[in-house]
Amino acid sequence: MVLDPTKHADWEIAEEAESRMKTVYELGEQLGLKQEELLPYGHYIGKLDYRKIMNRLGDKPDGKYVDVTAISPTPLGEGKSTCAMGLVQGLGKRGKSVVGAIRQPSGGPTMNIKGSAAGGGLAQCIPLTPFSLGLTGDINAIMNAHNLAMVAVTSRMQHESNYSDEILTRRGLKRLDIHPKKVEMGWIMDFCAQSLRNITIGLGGKMDGMTMQSKFAIAVSSEVMAILAIANDLKDMRERMGKIVVGYDRNDRPITTEDLDVAGAMTAWMVEAINPNLMQTLEGQPVIVHAGPFANIAIGQSSVIADRVALKVAGYNVTESGFGADIGFEKFWNLKCRFSGNKPNCAVVVATIRALKCHGGAPIPVPGKPMPEEYGKENVGWVEEGCKNLLHHIKTVKKAGINPVVCINAFYTDTDAEIKAVRRICEAAGARVALSRHWEKGGEGALEFADAVVDACEEPNDFKFLYELDTPLSERIDKIAKEVYGADGVSYSPEAKTKLDRMEADPELKEMGTCMVKTHLSLSHDPTKKGVPTGWTLPIRDILTYKGAGFVVPVAGAISLMPGTASDPAYRRIDVDCETGKVKGVF
């Protein structure tokens, strides 16, 4: 029995479908894997031993590589994960060998407003509860690895303040002289906790640590998560882990985790986490889950390792980039593909009528409150005006040398006239357009979508990066701001300008990738500006250094690395059936 998504919640649909799940070994057999290449976590979830798989299949030709991105979403999301799962199911219905490669959700949005990232309706990744609540422990490993670095730096500062050089030397330590006001790293946790954005630590006596200002960020924004996403193998991860800059000494020399003798132990926490996770869609196609979300404050991509495995074991690998093409696809294009060497065959731009109306003049939805009633009524004018945002994202994808497929992510409230308007405008712009009803009908509803992607994958493209690594950092930021976001230019705070000048003088730093931090709710830095804003300047207020991951991180606008929890969060509706032990209410 398949439940009706118009009458049942996502968790109810997932729970019903979980009675028909394939085992890990059945999924492995479907992918042509050997049993020793599977690392089961129970019956229905497992990890993939990527080293054994790549050692055996490394010379095999890659399958087709498809990235799913979107227009600028509403605060409630744009349905990219739903579209990615729908496309995998649609390709499966067409008899294609296909794997999805998506990111693990963060506990922050799962327990807040946005919910999980499993998809929705009849296009989901299951089992839903473990997917949403920790999975196989990758994010926990990241938190332990990251926070161990903070333990190391705060402990070292305390001991250096309490002991002489002679005592430190006897204990095998060299004085690092870390400046307490220049510890740039903070602590992490996987929830949205605004009260921890700015904290004071070390209160008490001299044995309680050094009193200093500190901070928390959300776990998935950690540089350790970024390293998991772009590492080629464990050796590469270990080398990158040792390059993480925790702060600076009193002479402005960077202090790394290698200086603190903690990089090896940090990597030890990640030995299991580097193996991707294996799950499945509602219709039994394999899904590889690895690395984390938040493309507006992190790289926001599933891992390079996950994609490499997927491209070897299937004819099509459908991956997903966080948020709109200005953020997620830009980082997929200029960071992930640069690190991996893989080039996409197709990119999908997801658009909902709901979000097009938002960009076209409809009242902006407020998280935690009912959708304004205007969104349930036909308004072709709003849709047409909102298509300006869609056309901007189509142009961004085309700048990468790819002709995109626009997926109209349909809901039962959309009207024929609204859908026809989107088709007409996108086709006039030279993009393929496909209507998909995967949310309502699963793979059967995604056949037009699947066919359009298959056709696009057969079309040759001229994939190219927006900038080369020898381009000065200021020029890269300017290029992204103008050509991807549509800004007139860039401005810098005094602090950001000082860091920019230092980085451009450092030959090692100026050749690192550029990972922009910006709101996902607008092409600009201002989340209230919808459509395609004009006449604005991108304000860079800070520039962070992720030496281990291999990029610098310009921060635009007021976005925080620690989101806040809203007044009506999802955790209020999550509970447990104490008779069966099943979790209910996750969405």
In 3D space, the residue among 312, 299, 309, 311 whose CA is nearest the CA of residue 338 turns out to be 299
DSSP structural state of residue 149: H
Longest dimension (CA), the chain: 80
Contact by Cβ (8 Å): 234, 271: yes
**Cβ neighbours of residue 377 under 8 Å, at least 6 residues apart?**
none
Q: What is the CA radius of gyration of the chain?
A: 24
CA distance 228 to 302: 9
The H or E element spanning position 432 is strand 432-436
Three-state secondary-structure class, residue 568:
coil
Strands (E), 121-171: 123-126
For the chain, what's the residue count? Answer: 587
Beta partners for residue 255, in sequence order: 247
Q: Which residue has the tokens 């304000």?
A: 539
Three-state secondary-structure class, residue 201:
strand
Provide the residue type at 351 as one letter: A
In 3D space, the residue among 544, 562, 552, 558 whose CA is nearest the CA of residue 248 turns out to be 544
CA distance 365 to 387: 18
DSSP structural state of residue 326: I
The values of phi and psi at residue 371, to 5°, are: -60, 130
Contact by Cβ (8 Å): 283, 89: yes
Number of other residues whose CB lies within 10 A of the CB of residue 97: 16
CA distance 513 to 552: 6
Q: Which residues are catalytic?
A: 80, 82, 103, 114, 295, 323, 411, 439
The H or E element spanning position 17 is helix 10-17
For residue 573, the number of C-alpha atoms closer than 13 Å in the C-beta half-sphere is: 14
Residue 445, judged by CB atoms within 10 A of its CB (0-12, 13-18, 19+), counts as buried
DSSP 367-400: TTSPPPGGGGS--HHHHHHHHHHHHHHHHHHHHT
Contact by Cβ (8 Å): 290, 50: no
